[in-house]
Structure 1
Amino acid sequence: MATTDAPTTLAPDECVPSEHSFHRALRATYIGLDFLLTLLGNVLTIVVTRKVEEFSDSTKVIITSLAVADLGVAFVAATSLPVEILGKWIFPEWVCAASFITFYIFTTVSVMMVIVMTFDRLVAIVRPLRYALILPKHRSVIAVVIVWLACTGGGMYTTFTNNIVYNRCSAVCMTTGRNIVASIVSVLLFYVIPLALIMMMNVKILLIARQHARHIGRPAVTITSTDDAGQPTILRRPRSVKGKAVGVISLVTVAFAVSWSVYQAKLLHGSVSGSSDAFDEWLEFSAIWLGLTNSWWNVIIYSVMNRSFRRHTRSVLFGCCPRCPRPSEIIPIETVSVNLRSNPPG
């Protein structure tokens, strides 16, 4: 590995960023927002995930690992923000190498965790009765540890076998001069193959969910508790837990595919053209930071798609009761009794 004490020294073919103060302020603001959203969003995910009863122990391990990986990406933004504000590299050279290896390890772990999470949902839907036996907590922990060790080894190898410099247009430390073979292998291992596996599992999940949907009639109701006045109340069951799981995984997959598509195209284009910085500044910057936004999209997806996660998030942020049903979900028991008399079971 080779770095320079002044990574801002430009190579002849390097992209030169605009020095306009408004332009720099805009880039710095974006990096700062990315840092805050990544930090706060993933800390919130780790805290809330432990409280959601709907998640199995295995699922909690996987989602927590994904959140930790996404949280680690905040270090990249933390090093890029002051450099972008001041317009020059201010850290020792080893910080650039540390920033790159952090970027490599945590982003690749994040990709692998999406695969593991999709497989976890596939098993839960295909083999619901044997799910706890097929994927107990200790097996999920083993899978997570293997992923972290493999990605850490890959990050160390890539860092110590390439030149790492600070790319002023991308606002991150990156490798330079990677050959076409290395770039193709990287794109295949960390984008094409993972995306293909995730999509195949999603197709299987969607087909099963569609079959289940054909056999689902009106949503059932279950007596849960009494209200404040002592009157029996009932709470509607979710229309389809499987459907919500499918929706979450599908959105996470789309977020992954979209966010990293530009960076993967840039990586291949730069290797083919023989230049590591073949794009204009706005595309160089977007290719990296669009990918890094994937580190905080997941918490938004969970909150939008999972009612229990959303309630526990409110309880953590605002002290609300996560188990209290909303007024629209409570049905007087008398109404149900009338319906049962007019439409008896069977």
Structure 2
Amino acid sequence: MNSTSTDSVGLSPVLIALRTCFIAIIALLIISGNILSIAVTRRVTSLADSTKVLMTSLAVSDLLVGFCAVVSVVASALDSWPLGDVGCEVVSILSSICFLMSLLSIVGLNIERFLAVTRPYKFPVWCSRFRIQTAVIFQAILSLCLSFVAKFGFNVPLQFDNTLQICEYVNTPLLMHMSNLLIIVIIPTLLMSYIYYHLIKISRQHEQRLNQNGNNEAINNHDNKALKTFLVVTLTFAGCYTPNLTLETLMSLSGVSAPGWLQFLFLWLMVSNSMFNVIIYCLFNKVFRQTAKKILSERFPCCNRSIAPVEIGF
């Protein structure tokens, strides 16, 4: 394995500075956003314990992605890889584990919401804190195993890509690209489609019953807003990951390399997914939003403004 860069893109100092600032902003937003997400999730009391565990797991995974992105900031500023061969291996494997953990946490959140709606009486037993914590540990072990299988099973060397500013596998076989597309996009998309098809069907049945009882104000109040939040999280994940994974598969199939700027944008769009979840939570969850404002006002008194009391519920 050689951690020296691939063909240099020959950027001017101004473009290198702009590229570095771009990556630095993404890394900063990922780290600060997920630290805030963890703090808010711990403080909010209206969330189920199982939901809090899975949201925390997702935030921790995304936070580690942010720390990996910091290494790319340094590499971009230097226009070369600073950590040598071992560092290239470690950062690459850690990034793979974090991406897989994020995916599994999102799938877990959707399955947990599915059980909460379809099995409300059995949900507290099936999704107890201990069981969800055990599931998160299993997710971490599975992510670790899959990352090592991808690295050592395909026996593909790593190399720093000066276009993408990351360490990536060189001459990756088509089977590996298709496996990534299948595991990360196709299978989760089919699973999520199945889950939300049934959840929307159940939601409409509840709506019809409420309409018959004349209780229009209560329609789609708590459960539907929670489902909407995690649906947007899922769609955002798919929207950020699909372009890059699809482009890599198409390049492997055709043998034609896409423009460097397009590869760069799609790769960092995938990485930037880790900064969007806290924004989605704040947009769709009033409790989360108000609690986040309260925490920020406590940490930064100079920016303190009048904050409405924290309300319970969505």
Per-residue CA deviations over 1:154-201 (Å, capped at 9, x if unaligned) read 112323422111111111110111211222122111211012111221
Q: Does 1:289 align with 2:283?
A: no
| Cα distance per residue 1:43-101 (max 9 Å; x no partner) | 11111101112211111111100111111101321111111112222222211111111
Q: 1:8 aligns with which of 1, 5, 8?
A: 5
Change (3 A) 1:322 1:126: farther
Please give the alpha-carbon distance, in whole angstroms, between the structure 2 residues aligned to 1:311 and 1:322: 7
Contact 2:9/2:163 (CA < 8 Å) preserved in 1? yes
Q: Which amino acid aligns with 2:228?
A: G
Q: Partner amino acid for 1:316? A: I
1:315 pairs, out of 283, 289, 294, with: 294
Report the identity percentage.
Answer: 27
Aligned to 1:240: 221
CA distance in 2, matches of 1:199, 1:252: 14
CA distance in 2, matches of 1:321, 1:120: 32
The alignment partner of 2:223 has SS state of: helix
Q: How far does residue 286 in structure 1 lie from its aligned partner after superposition?
A: 1.1
Corresponding position of 2:235:
254
Structure 2 partner of 1:272: 253
2:303 corresponds in structure 1 to none
Q: Report the residue type matching 1:166 in the other structure.
A: F
Structure-1 separation of matches of 2:59 and 2:308: 21
**Aligned residue for 2:217?**
219
Which deviates further from its counterpart, 263-272 or 280-289?
263-272
More moved, 283-292 vs 125-134: 125-134
Q: 1:100 to 1:324 in 2, by over 3 A?
A: closer
Assess if the C-alpha contact under 8 Å between 2:24 and 2:73 holds in 1. yes
| 1:47 paired residue among 30, 39, 43 | 39
Match of residue 188 from structure 2: 194
- Residue in structure 1 matched with residue 163 of structure 2 by the alignment: 169
Report the AA paired with residue 281 of structure 1: G
Change beyond 3 A, Cα 1:196–1:239: closer
The alpha carbon displacement at 1:322 in A equals 7.1
Within the alignment, does 1:71 sit opposite 2:63 as a pair?
yes
Structure 1 residue 301 corresponds to structure 2 residue 280: yes
1:250-298: CA deviation from partner (whole Å, max 9, x where unpaired): 11111011101111112212321346xx111111101210001110100
Alpha-carbon deviation of 1:325?
5.4
Tell me the amino acid that sits aligned with residue 119 of structure 1. Answer: I
Richer in helix (by share): 2
Structure 1: which 4+ aligned runs deviate by more than 6 Å? Answer: none
TM-score (norm 1): 0.81
C-alpha contact (below 8 Å) 2:291/2:310 kept by paired residues? no
Give the AA of the match of 1:248: T
Amino acid at match of 2:262: L
Whichever residue aligns with residue 41 of structure 1, its letter is G
Which residue of structure 1 aligns with residue 302 of structure 2? none
| Distance (whole Å) between structure 2 residues aligned to residue 273 and residue 103 of structure 1 | 27
Structure 1 position 206 matched with structure 2 position 200 = yes
Per-residue deviation at 1:21?
2.5
Contact conserved, 2:156 with 2:172, CA < 8 A, in 1? yes
Question: In structure 2, how many angstroms separate the alpha carbons of the residues matched to 1:203 and 1:272?
Answer: 33
Flag structure 2 segments of 5+ consecutive residues without an equivalent: 299-305
Which of 115, 125, 142 is the matching residue for 1:133?
125
Q: Mark the runs of 5 or more structure 1 residues left unpaired by the alignment.
A: 11-15, 221-237, 327-346
Alignment map for 1:113-152 (pairs within 5 Å): 113-152=105-144
State how far apart, in whole Å, the 2-side matches of 1:71 and 1:159 are.
23
Give the structure with higher Rg (CA).
1
Find the partner of 2:54 among 62, 65, 71: 62
Residue 18 of structure 1: how far off its partner (Å): 4.3
Indicate the structure with greater strand content: 1
> CA distance change for structure 1 residues 124 and 82 in 2, over 3 Å: closer, same or farther?
same
In the TM superposition, residue 104 of structure 1 has moved relative to its aligned partner by: 0.6
User: In terms of mean alpha carbon deviation, does 295-304 or 25-34 score higher?
Assistant: 25-34
